[in-house]
Amino acid sequence: MKNEITLQTRREFLRRTVLGSSLAWTVPAFLANTFTALQAESADSAIQTPTGRDATILVVLQMAGGNDGLNTVVPYANDFYHQARPRIGQKAEDVLKLNGEIGLHGAMKGFKALYDNGQLSIVQGVGYPNPNRSHFRSTEIWQTASDSDQVEKYGWVGRYFDNACPGADPAVGVVIGSTLPESFFAAKPKGIVFNNPQNYRFMANGAATEESYKKLNELELSSPLPEDNSGGSIAMLPAGMPMTGGRAVDFITRTALDAQHSSEEVRAIAARVQNQAEYPPSQLGGSLKMVAKLIAGGLPTRVYYVSQGGYDTHTNQLGAQQRLLGDLAESVKAFTDDLKAQGNLGRVLVMTFSEFGRRVSENANGGTDHGAAAPMFIIGNQVKAGLLGRYPSLAPADLFQGDIKYNVDFRSVYAAVLENWLKTKSAPILGKQFIPVPVV
Amino acid sequence: MLKPLASDRWNYAAAAHLLNRAGFGGPPADIAQLAVLGPDQAVSFLLDYEKIPDLTPNPDWARPNPDEVRQYRESIQKAATPEEKKKLQQAEQQTIQLRMQQLRGWWLQRMARGPRPLQEKLVLFWHGHFATSFEKVRNPYYMWRQNELFRRLAAGNWQELLTAAGQDPAMLVWLDQAQSKKDHPNENFAREVMELFALGEGHYTEHDITEAARALTGWSLDPSTQKFISRPRFHDDGVKTILGRTGNFNGDDFIRIIVAQPQAGRFITAKLWNYFAGQIPSPDLNEALAAEFRAHGNNFKPFLRAMFRSEEFYAPEIIRNQVKSPVQWLVGSVRLLECELPPTLVSYGMLRQLGQDLFAPPNVKGWDGGITWITTNTLLSRYNDAQALVEGTLPPLTAGDFARKEGGAGGVKAMKALSRVRMGGVDVGKILSPEQRTDKVTIVAALENRLYQTTLNPEQEQTLREFLAAKTKMSDADIVTTIRLMMSTPEYQVT
């Protein structure tokens, strides 16, 4: 079936289509050569993805730096724990007890409330085989969902977009920050990135300048966008990686178009929507506050990405982690309150991750060194609440080089989120079939 | 081996490409000068930079300061009250931050105004390659010293540079080698040499790393002189097996073994090719590059000469197909617009916002580069920073960005400092001759040549002409806005 296209100019086309409809965003990039194909693709309802206006939404929350899981979900009744951590161990009377053995760090009252409401699922002992203790490598493993001895070019969220969201609006992914996380790297990159909606725009001294800017940035591509768009990026430089085709300027042209249109949409929502909860005045609080607005404003987003840094607590961990976990719990609690007031809590799921946990034994500086497995938090109205999986053994004989061993592969959690929440097959995205952990 | 570019293919466009890649670009007069020289002399002009005097004075604090460091530490320890202690700590931090800011400005000025652009471009390469961050090193003198090391050996010998980089104080702190002792060898530096600096993943085993870490024990830092020291007491003088070779190796032996691996030549030449040519080389090309490097005794200067003279370097898929790094964008703009670099506080804010915080790469892997520089956010920031640059106004994000980084009080201070900042902006008289200014067609053509060394597509040209046509006077301000618009295009983001 071939659709007749009556299209004078791309510019006119852009003006006529409704912003945010699946075609308005994607067609310009492909127009010159693949318009017809895309039209057909989009008309095929079998692969049309629901948008964030009505579908489920995932919020990925990165705890960067390697959060100390043992002092977050605390095995307060475990003697090995206290022996390994005479100075920084959390005492039984200070933790927020979940049962006779496990408690949350005392600063996480917001999470305790979610737990008591049946809105918090804690997956214990999450990691992967042959753990890597390098920040960037382990982050990369989590972001790309690769085996630890393999380097993947694309991120797991990016592969979700490639596999399950063809022809989707670029705002199918939104990153609050300034750079694109590796999990969003994709063969056909999607996703908009910004940190401050006020500044997320072209600043023009006059209407004529703005008009000219728009015309200059709505242009045909010199060549079709290549399937593989990693040209010039040197993520790991494995020997013999092939030269990739395509012009860099085409990628930028598409990004420019995405920027132009998403900027208008984002600022309109930011100005229109009011938050309905009080957030902490932190960076994470601000990011989640923005995400809540965008959800209320009906952006067609499936995956949001926010991050909180500072978890690399080699020295004087107690105060730093207290502040970070308190901020995390308060921010996420405010976010869920806000979504509840909006009536959107039922279709939003928050998932946290950190590149690794930390060594069981504290170090000489009142901190902890890079470790391995750690818990993940899944938050939402439809989670399977409670503690999932087993707490890894802390008995010295059970440790590997001073680290606890993982019980749950993080990709089993990703698989659950992909299959049971985003409603797509996980194997094509994760490279193989992982058995989903029943978090949702 | 590489094929040399035929002399008859040398022209203005080729000269522009060379200046853009082996330097930070420049105004039409500079390109024309290179074009006239011919390819051999043009490459030599950029590469044999030691013939050009560089009289840039060092920052006045750029010398060892162990006494100062000790005095700060002792007075902080002796502080009578917590308030006093805090005050002293803040004073030390302020000194450190001020020096880092001076260091950033010092280097940016060298890139933007210095007489040896290729040397500075190589320093930037080595900084990204050995990706050492001030965030951990916390000592401006060490950061300056490492920067000077890269400058001194920028086009030198690989074994010499790799050894010197390993014995560099900032690196000894950054990858914890200074603390590595026989009883507890620290594997960080050994691992990164193999994985990120010299071989790449898949070309060594975990066992090689453990053994190399043993060989490296004893490489340490003497705080009393702030220099490298070899400590025999820390050194494990047992037998090690590294990459199939067995012996009583030390750190120097380890580096020698690494550099002798055929993979070492492939790895570093591929990375240099990617940096200068903007592509990951095909396996065949990579072999040719590595052969060239080997034939020249693992010396970078003759290798770079062959590379910049090669036909491959001027291939159509190479030309104007590299995303400008934020530094290339800023420094290149300043050079080709013949304007002043914005004050360091502003330049620093722009680069941070665009994703390239000098002296603070995101991790030991350095900046990913390529299309990862471009997001919807950084692209709009480039467009808005262009306005600040050409009009001499403050960019929108600098103050807020700085405030977040420095905390509330620092932010207020930064705002105050910024309100006093004066920026130059573009002097249209320097950019356009009276003849070029006669009508909108010649203006757009002259600006295209200056900004892209090629033309935009006809619709874009038409847009620019219409913009100018609506301005009856075509004043300096109108032309400045036109330049900003031309910088606010996808085409300006590549080189």
Provide mean pLDDT across the span A406-427: 97
Contact in structure between B251 and B218 (CB atoms under 8 Å): yes
Contact in structure between A248 and A232 (CB atoms under 8 Å): yes
Q: pLDDT at position A245, please?
A: 53
CA distance to partner chain A, nearest, from residue B248 (Å): 27
- Tell me how many domains chain B contains: 3
Contact B321 A247 (CB under 8 A): yes
pLDDT reading at A183 higher than 90: yes
Q: Mean pLDDT of all residues in chain A?
A: 84
Residues of chain B positioned with their CB less than 8 A from the CB of A205: 387, 481
Contact in structure between A334 and A311 (CB atoms under 8 Å): no
Q: B213 or A26: whose pLDDT is higher?
A: B213
Distances (CA, A) of B428 to A125, A260, B433, B445: 63, 29, 9, 15
Q: B393 or A82: whose pLDDT is higher?
A: A82
Question: Does any domain span residue A361?
Answer: yes
Domain boundary among B382, B402, B419: B419
State which H helix or E strand residue A347 sits in.
none
Any A CB within 8 A of B224 CB? no
Per DSSP, the residues of A307-330 read EE-----SSSHHHHHHHHHHHHHH
Any B CB within 8 A of A343 CB? no
Residues with Cβ within 8 Å of residue B29, at least 6 apart in sequence = none
- Smallest CA–CA distance from A207 into chain B, residue: B467
Per-residue pLDDT band at B399 (split at 50, 70, 90): very low
Task: Find tokens 């023009």 and name the residue.
Answer: A204
- Tell me how many domains chain A contains: 1
Regarding whether B445 and B412 lie in a shared domain, the answer is no
Out of A196, A232, A237, closest to residue B371 by CB: A232
Q: What is the DSSP letter of A420?
A: I
Question: Does any domain span residue A47?
Answer: yes
Question: Does any domain span residue B268?
Answer: no
d(CA A113, CA A118): 9
- Smallest CA–CA distance from B362 into chain A, residue: A136
Return the closest-CA partner of residue B25 out of B378, B436, B327, B387. Answer: B327
Backbone φ and ψ for A353, nearest 5 degrees, come out as -155, 160
Residues of chain B positioned with their CB less than 8 A from the CB of A248: 278, 321-323, 370-371, 494
Provide mean pLDDT across the span B160-174: 97
pLDDT reading at B400 higher than 70: no
Q: pLDDT at position B422, please?
A: 66
Question: Does any domain span residue B408?
Answer: yes
Provide mean pLDDT across the span A329-335: 98
Contact A237 B274 (CB under 8 A): yes
Question: Does any domain span residue B256?
Answer: no
pLDDT reading at B118 higher than 90: yes
Any B CB within 8 A of A344 CB? no
Question: Does any domain span residue B373?
Answer: yes
**Helix crossing, B39-47 with B117-129: angle to 10°?**
60
Assigned token pair, B169: 């104080």
Return the closest-CA partner of residue A378 out of A73, A133, A145, A91. Answer: A73
Contact in structure between A258 and A301 (CB atoms under 8 Å): no
d(CA B379, CA B471): 27
Q: pLDDT at position A189, please?
A: 81
Question: Does any domain span residue B285?
Answer: no
Regarding whether B412 and B359 lie in a shared domain, the answer is yes
Provide mean pLDDT across the span A233-261: 65
pLDDT per position as a tens digit, B441-481: 999 999 999 999 999 999 999 999 999 999 988 999 999 99
Domain boundary among B399, B419, B439: B419
Q: pLDDT at position B265, please?
A: 98
Question: Does any domain span residue A164?
Answer: yes
Phi-psi region for residue B200, left (φ > 0), alpha (ψ -120 to 50) or beta?
A: left
Question: Does any domain span residue A338?
Answer: yes
Regarding whether B376 and B407 lie in a shared domain, the answer is yes
Domain boundary among B419, B445, B471: B419
Phi-psi region for residue A383, left (φ > 0), alpha (ψ -120 to 50) or beta?
A: beta
Contact in structure between A243 and B280 (CB atoms under 8 Å): yes
**Number of residues written out for chain B:** 495
Q: pLDDT at position A235, please?
A: 35
CA distance to partner chain A, nearest, from residue B280 (Å): 5
Question: Does any domain span residue A76?
Answer: yes
Q: pLDDT at position B414, please?
A: 62
Contact A259 B201 (CB under 8 A): no
Per-residue pLDDT band at A346 (split at 50, 70, 90): very high
Contact A234 B387 (CB under 8 A): no
Q: pLDDT at position B360, please?
A: 94
Question: Does any domain span residue B324?
Answer: no
Any A CB within 8 A of B281 CB? yes
Angle in degrees, CA A350, A355, A361, rounded to 5? 115
Range of B11's domain?
Answer: 7-47
Q: pLDDT at position A43, please?
A: 35
Question: Does any domain span residue B439?
Answer: yes
d(CA B330, CA B308): 23
Cβ contacts below 8 Å, chain A against chain B, sum to 196
Range of A350's domain?
Answer: 10-228+246-430
pLDDT reading at B410 higher than 80: no
Contact A248 B278 (CB under 8 A): yes
Contacts 24+ apart (CB under 8 A), A153-157: A153/A185, A153/A230, A153/A235, A154/A185, A154/A186, A154/A187, A155/A181, A155/A182, A155/A183, A155/A184, A155/A185, A155/A186, A156/A183, A156/A414, A156/A429, A156/A430, A157/A60, A157/A183, A157/A184, A157/A186, A157/A191, A157/A303, A157/A305
Per-residue pLDDT band at A23 (split at 50, 70, 90): very low
Question: Does any domain span residue A192?
Answer: yes
State which H helix or E strand residue B219 sits in.
strand B219-222
Phi-psi region for residue B66, left (φ > 0), alpha (ψ -120 to 50) or beta?
A: alpha
Q: A122 or A20: whose pLDDT is higher?
A: A122
Provide mean pLDDT across the span A170-176: 94
pLDDT per position as a tens digit, A79-124: 999 999 999 999 999 999 999 999 999 999 999 999 999 999 999 9
Question: Considering only A86-95, A311-320, B59-68, which range has the smallest mean pLDDT?
Answer: A311-320
Q: pLDDT at position A363, please?
A: 87
Regarding whether B447 and B389 lie in a shared domain, the answer is no
Q: What three-state secondary structure class fits A406?
A: coil
Regarding whether B443 and B489 lie in a shared domain, the answer is yes
Phi-psi region for residue A118, left (φ > 0), alpha (ψ -120 to 50) or beta?
A: left
Return the closest-CA partner of residue B267 out of A240, A391, A58. Answer: A240
Provide mean pLDDT across the span A345-352: 97
Q: pLDDT at position B423, please?
A: 76
Any A CB within 8 A of B411 CB? no
Q: pLDDT at position B368, please?
A: 87
Contact in structure between B277 and B317 (CB atoms under 8 Å): no
Assigned token pair, A48: 């049309």
Question: Considering only B24-38, B127-141, B419-433, which range has the smallest mean pLDDT?
Answer: B419-433
d(CA B361, CA B368): 10
Q: B395 or A160: whose pLDDT is higher?
A: A160
Per-residue pLDDT band at B328 (split at 50, 70, 90): very high
Domain with residue A57: its CATH number is: 3.40.720
Residues of chain B positioned with their CB less than 8 A from the CB of A135: 363
Task: Find tokens 């976010």 and name the residue.
Answer: A335
Return the closest-CA partner of residue B495 out of B5, B28, B21. Answer: B21
d(CA A140, CA A152): 9
Contact B377 A200 (CB under 8 A): yes
Question: Does any domain span residue A146?
Answer: yes
Question: Considering only A165-174, A212-221, B206-215, B364-373, which range has the smallest mean pLDDT?
Answer: A212-221
Position B238: which residue type? G
d(CA B262, CA B267): 9
Provide mean pLDDT across the span A268-285: 95
Per-residue pLDDT band at A12 (split at 50, 70, 90): very low
Provide mean pLDDT across the span B190-201: 94
Question: Does any domain span residue B323?
Answer: no
Q: B271 or A4: whose pLDDT is higher?
A: B271
Any A CB within 8 A of B320 CB? yes
d(CA A100, CA A92): 10
Per-residue pLDDT band at A220 (split at 50, 70, 90): low
Q: pLDDT at position B53, please?
A: 96
pLDDT per position as a tens digit, A369-390: 889 999 999 999 999 999 999 9
Per-residue pLDDT band at A239 (split at 50, 70, 90): very low
Task: Count CA atoms closer than 13 A to A239's CA, side-chain side.
Answer: 20
Position B453: which residue type? Q
pLDDT reading at B271 higher than 90: yes
d(CA B390, CA B408): 30
d(CA A415, CA A160): 11
Q: What three-state secondary structure class fits A73?
A: strand
Interface of A with B in 228-267 (CB under 8 A): 229-245, 247-249, 251-253, 255-256, 258-259, 262-263
Across B163-186, b (16+ Cβ under 10 Å) vs e yields: bbbbbbbbbbbbbebbebeeeebb
Question: Does any domain span residue A436?
Answer: no
Rounded to two decimals, the ipTM of the complex is: 0.93
